[in-house]
Amino acid sequence: MAGQPCSRWLSATSKNVTTTLSATKHRTTSFIIHTRSISDKQVGILKRKKEREAAEKRKAKAAKVTHFTVQPLNKTEQFSLCEAIRILRAFEVGYPPSSPKYELAIKLSTPKDGPVLKSRLNLPVPISTALRVCALVPPDSKAARAASAAGATLVGLEDVLAQIKEGKVDFDRCIASPEALPIIQRSGVARILGPRRLMPSEKDKTVVKDVGAAVREMTRAAEYRERMSVIRMAIGEMAFSAKQLKDNVAAFVGDVRRRITALERSGKEIHEVVLSSTHGPGLTLDGKFMNSDGTREEELVERA
């Protein structure tokens, strides 16, 4: 009898413990499931937040970098034109005087979305080039005879178009007369000449009435085009005197400056002028003609 209350008490305690453990188990499982569902949701939110922040950073960075990068000139060694010529000629010793060329690079401070400068310039002292010009004109016409006399390397129409269709594009420039343009457009050569920027068009002023004059101008004129904020052009030969090279440099820089001035609010300006040669380094010019220790310092281009 004495052991019955103890037995009943143990039985009740066992039930209570079992019930408590069971309830605790269900509550724990429910809590774990609830916690996992919140974590998955939070992960998605955090992921989207990071993606938005990364997109905003990229957008802000792109908005900040609006201009092409230019290097400050305060720590750049600069040379007068005569000094640069003397150094570059030393690099061209042993080469034929007409083979190496001087090249001028005009580096611009310009917005990335600004207009692109391109033009054609007749230098005061022409550079001998092996420029091959194709004249698409009716054979045996006055324009064909004028083109041949002016120095065009390829003159004709149907026969030349047939060669182009076969992939024979053995020329550097192409012009046409107005009466030949419809035949050229129907021939389908635009898909070949277009990617090479050789397709004649009135917009590019390569469809002309005076074919002979156009060929002469094309063989004499030097073309330049801005690429990635830099304009490059061959400016002379090693046989040129310092005065001849100076005249060409002044003409080139002056033409670029005039075209920049003609643009309204372009944000463009000349930052650096670099002279180099075929086998020589690039030397930054200081705008002077004579050496710094010379008796006179002549500006290459008069400042406006």
Boundary (domain end) residue, out of 27, 43, 65: 65
Boundary (domain end) residue, out of 220, 251, 273: 220
Q: Which helix (H) or strand (E) holds 231?
A: strand 230-237
- CA-to-CA dists, residue 285 to 51, 226, 230, 239, 245, angstroms: 47, 19, 15, 20, 13
**pLDDT value for 285:** 94
The pair of three-digit structure tokens given for residue 185, joined into one six-digit string: 């457009």
Task: Please give the residue range of the domain that contains residue 239.
Answer: 67-122+223-304
The pair of three-digit structure tokens given for residue 100, joined into one six-digit string: 């190496």
**pLDDT value for 81:** 94
Select from 148, 198, 140 the least CA-distant residue to 169: 198
Q: Are residues 201 and 60 in the same domain?
A: no
Q: How many domains, in total, are found in the chain?
A: 3
Q: Are residues 95 and 232 in the same domain?
A: yes
Residue 131: partners with Cβ closer than 8 Å, 6 or more residues away: 172, 173, 218, 219
Q: Are residues 258 and 270 in the same domain?
A: yes
**pLDDT value for 304:** 36
- pLDDT tens across 4-47, in order? 555 555 555 555 555 554 555 455 444 444 444 556 667 777 78
What is the distance between the alpha carbons of residues 84 and 102, in angstroms, rounded to a whole number? 11
- pLDDT tens across 188-212, in order? 999 999 999 999 999 888 999 999 9
Residue showing tokens 């453990």: 21
Point out the residues of the chain with pLDDT beneath 70.
1-41, 60-65, 67, 130, 291-304
Q: Are residues 100 and 147 in the same domain?
A: no
Q: Are residues 56 and 95 in the same domain?
A: no
Q: Are residues 227 and 117 in the same domain?
A: yes
Q: Are residues 292 and 171 in the same domain?
A: no
Q: Are residues 173 and 59 in the same domain?
A: no
Q: Are residues 40 and 168 in the same domain?
A: no
Please report, for the domain that includes residue 103, its CATH number: 3.30.190.20
Q: What is the dihedral of CA 48, 49, 51, 57, to 10 degrees?
A: 160
Q: Are residues 178 and 188 in the same domain?
A: yes
What is the distance between the alpha carbons of residues 273 and 105, in angstroms, rounded to a whole number? 6
- Secondary structure of residue 205 in the 3-state scheme: coil
Q: Is the entire prediction scored with pTM above 0.75?
A: no
Amino acid in position 48: R
Boundary (domain end) residue, out of 168, 186, 220: 220
Q: Are residues 227 and 82 in the same domain?
A: yes
Q: Which helix (H) or strand (E) holds 234?
A: strand 230-237
- CA-to-CA dists, residue 274 to 11, 61, 68, 243, 293, angstroms: 101, 30, 17, 18, 21
Q: Are residues 239 and 304 in the same domain?
A: yes
- Phi/psi zone of residue 20: left (φ > 0), alpha (ψ -120 to 50 degrees), beta? alpha
- Secondary structure of residue 27 in the 3-state scheme: helix
Please report, for the domain that includes residue 169, its CATH number: 3.40.50.790
